[in-house]
């Protein structure tokens, strides 16, 4: 009774496993093997950053990043998308194996005298079956290709989650640095307002004593008004920065963790290796390649539809007209029904599906190459900017010192009656603007370092909210066979 089913399963296992997908080879890199000369060879080194904590050295910022990795909604969406891709892979993988179902049925039918030609009768039939229905033998590898496609889509989604992780870390760092810079600008504006208010009072006293002119008083009032406008502007920017950071973190936190604008935010160095190393580290590039591999596998599934489809239906159980004798030896029954379907005329449907699959592969190839090119550009741009930002920052520091000396000397000459207040106003305005530019330039320098950290693939660690299977490259077997 069991031999037909066993034979069918053995034949299916021997016949399956073939694949008609093209052999996959990693495409050649569409970028140079070296960074542009403008990037600077002195930046080359070991670019591997296994954990973002190697880059973020500030303990308060580390706490906020950890909170964001636990509560940020974008990351939660990425995690659930990964779970969905894992489940879809399990669904597709299960189609390689026969579905075994247990069924029980009972029927009762009365046949009247007009049917039987005599006395009416009641017919009863009971059955219990265990078997499989419509199991496809994967002789041409269609199911194997679809399984490979689902697996590569899952792996692409896993890399996309890692990319979201790195992007979130970079966004939190940037938002934190922006808040620190705006608070530093706010502190500077308040200090300037306090200084200029005191200067206005002294100028007003000099005017009252007949030493200063009305123009001197008006110019002093202008400096106070400018400082007041800046205080209001930077107060608004600080509030917006705090709101943006709260969205990224995704939960409440102690305000003491926020920067006050008076301390330096410590970031670790980022050394840049060769482009080939970057290609191995960036999850968006790996995700694009997995998508390319999925499109390649889909060609095999499209090709397999041109060939016959072989399926089996087999059941074994008991069939009896009497419920009491249902499980007796004489009630045993089996059914074995193989079927073959050969495509003849589909009016171009199969050929069209194959061409679609080939076009999808070419699209995925172009997207993979474009991802590499954009990544190469991001790193090259960050390197080119970093080479000049440090020198620019040092020069700006010297400029601030020079304007400070000029302002102090101008103010002294005005107090001694040697010079007019216009010189004080001009030197003070230059000094104030130079200090603002220094703070903004420091933010640009740090943002460039964050951009380089992200462009090189960053460092990431998985969170407790990820599923157990996301720690490896493939889902666990339990999720695949349910």
Q: Give which of 327, 329, 335 is closest to 4, Cα–Cα.
A: 335
- pLDDT digits 0-9 by tens, 372-424: 999 888 888 888 888 789 889 999 999 999 999 988 888 888 777 777 777 77
Cβ proximity of 386 and 444 under 8 Å:
no
Average pLDDT, the chain: 82
Report residue 475's pLDDT band, with 50, 70 and 90 as the boundaries.
very low
Neighbours of 163 (CB within 10 A): 21
| Cα distances (angstroms) measured from residue 303 to each of 148, 299, 343 | 15, 6, 12
- Residues with Cβ within 8 Å of residue 156, at least 6 apart in sequence: 287, 288, 290, 291, 294
Cβ proximity of 298 and 291 under 8 Å:
no
* Residue 277 in this model has a pLDDT that exceeds 70: no
Report residue 210's pLDDT band, with 50, 70 and 90 as the boundaries.
confident
Walk me through the domains of the chain, giving residue ranges and CATH numbers. Answer: 1-18+99-137+309-342 (2.20.200.10), 31-96+138-307+352-480 (1.20.1600.10)
**Span 349-374, mean pLDDT?**
92
Question: What DSSP string describes 162-189?
Answer: HHHHHHHHHHHHHHHHHHHHHHHHHHHH
- pLDDT digits 0-9 by tens, 216-273: 788 888 889 989 999 999 999 999 999 999 999 988 888 999 999 888 898 988 877 6
- pLDDT digits 0-9 by tens, 24-74: 888 888 877 776 655 554 444 555 566 888 899 999 999 999 999 999 988
Cβ proximity of 44 and 453 under 8 Å:
no
pLDDT at 478: 39
* Residue 460 in this model has a pLDDT that exceeds 80: no
* Residue 436 in this model has a pLDDT that exceeds 60: yes
Number of H helices, E strands in the chain: 11, 4
Task: Give dist(CA 226, CA 239) in Å, integer.
Answer: 20
pLDDT at 131: 82
* Residue 340 in this model has a pLDDT that exceeds 90: no
pLDDT at 237: 95
- pLDDT digits 0-9 by tens, 14-38: 445 567 888 888 888 887 777 665 5
**Span 153-158, mean pLDDT?**
92
């Amino acid at each position: 009774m069991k031999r037909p089913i066993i034979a069918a399963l053995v034949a299916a296992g021997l016949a399956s496993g073939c694949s008609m997908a093209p052999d996959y080879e990693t495409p050649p890199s569409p970028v140079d093997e070296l960074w542009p000369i403008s990037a600077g060879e002195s930046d080359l080194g070991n670019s591997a950053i296994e954990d973002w904590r190697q880059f973020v050295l500030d303990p308060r910022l580390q706490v906020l990043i950890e909170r964001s990795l636990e509560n940020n909604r974008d990351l939660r969406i990425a995690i659930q998308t990964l779970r969905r891709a894992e489940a879809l892979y399990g669904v597709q993988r299960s189609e390689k194996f026969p579905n075994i179902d247990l069924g029980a049925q009972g029927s009762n039918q009365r046949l009247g005298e007009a049917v039987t030609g005599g006395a009416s009768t009641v017919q009863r039939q009971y059955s219990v079956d265990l078997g499989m229905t419509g199991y496809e033998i994967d002789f041409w590898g269609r199911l194997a290709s679809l399984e490979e496609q689902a697996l590569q889509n899952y792996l692409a989604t896993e890399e996309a989650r890692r990319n979201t992780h790195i992007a979130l870390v970079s966004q939190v760092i940037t938002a934190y640095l922006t808040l620190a810079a705006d608070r530093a600008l706010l502190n500077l504006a308040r200090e300037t307002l306090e200084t200029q208010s005191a200067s206005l009072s002294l100028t007003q006293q000099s005017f009252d004593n007949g030493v200063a002119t009305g123009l001197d008083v008006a110019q002093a009032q202008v400096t106070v008004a400018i400082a007041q406008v800046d205080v209001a502007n930077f107060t608004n920017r600080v509030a917006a920065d705090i709101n943006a950071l709260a969205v990224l973190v995704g939960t409440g936190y102690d305000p003491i963790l926020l920067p006050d604008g008076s301390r330096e935010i410590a970031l670790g160095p980022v050394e840049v290796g060769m482009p080939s190393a970057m290609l191995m580290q960036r999850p968006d590039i790996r995700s694009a390649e997995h998508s390319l591999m999925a499109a390649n596998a889909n060609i095999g599934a499209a090709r397999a539809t041109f060939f016959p489809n072989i399926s089996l239906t087999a059941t074994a159980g008991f069939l009896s007209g009497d419920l009491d004798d249902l499980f007796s030896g004489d009630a045993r029954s089996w059914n074995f029904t193989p079927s073959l379907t050969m495509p003849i005329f589909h009016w171009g449907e199969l050929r069209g599906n194959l061409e679609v699959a080939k076009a999808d592969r070419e699209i995925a190839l172009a997207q993979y190459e474009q991802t590499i090119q954009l990544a190469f550009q991001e790193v090259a741009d960050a390197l080119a900017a970093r080479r000049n930002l440090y020198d620019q920052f040092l020069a700006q520091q010297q400029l601030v010192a020079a304007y400070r000396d000029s302002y102090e000397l101008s103010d002294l000459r005005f107090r001694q009656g040697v010079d007019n207040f216009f010189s004080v106003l001009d030197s003070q305005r230059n000094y104030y603007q130079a200090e603002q530019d220094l703070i903004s330039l420091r933010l640009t320098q740090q943002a460039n370092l964050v951009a380089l950290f992200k462009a090189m693939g960053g460092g990431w660690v998985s969170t407790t909210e990820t599923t157990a299977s996301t720690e490896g490259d493939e889902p666990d077997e339990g999720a695949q066979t349910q």
